[in-house]
Amino acid sequence: MIWILEKAFVAVLVLFFTGCAAVHRGPEPVDGGIRFSLHAPAAKSVAVSGSFNRWDTTKNLLAGPDSNGDWSIVLPLPEGRYEYLFIINGETWLVDPAVPSVDDGLGGKNSVIVK
């Protein structure tokens, strides 16, 4: 039970220090694919890593931040189920707060999207 509280505390700290909003709309279908976005005005870099890119932490860097502090990328994903996480500043892994998450088999969680 204590480790759950520790993980929740760490998640709150990540949200606070990256400037992530508590309300987030999550991935959305757009022309050309799926738009992944994250509100993180204090971040220096944001990437999305997942089953769609073999968990490559450098392949899909989000553009931003825009004037609102939002980062985003459109990925041309075929239909399917994908697990993913955001990587803040190349080191902090963050679940997407707007979508369901699943156990990653290593004691953590991955965000899930089905297209």
At a CB cut-off of 8 Å and minimum separation 6, what does 4 contact?
none
Q: What is the pLDDT of residue 91?
A: 95
Q: Which residues, given as ranges, of the chain have pLDDT below 70?
A: 1-24
3-state secondary structure of 56: coil
Q: What is the pLDDT of residue 23?
A: 53
Q: Between 3.10.450.30, 4.10.410.60, 2.70.98.60, 2.60.40.10, what CATH number should domain 2-114 receive?
A: 2.60.40.10
Residue that has been written with the tokens 């929740």 in this structure: 8
- CB of 36 closer than 8 Å to CB of 62: yes
Distance CA 21, CA 106 (A): 27
At a CB cut-off of 8 Å and minimum separation 6, what does 18 contact?
40, 42, 43, 88, 92, 94
Q: What is the pLDDT of residue 115?
A: 85
Q: What is the pLDDT of residue 24?
A: 63
pTM here?
Answer: 0.78
Element housing 86 (H / E): strand 81-88
Q: What is the pLDDT of residue 12?
A: 42
Q: What is the pLDDT of residue 92?
A: 96
Q: What is the pLDDT of residue 56?
A: 96
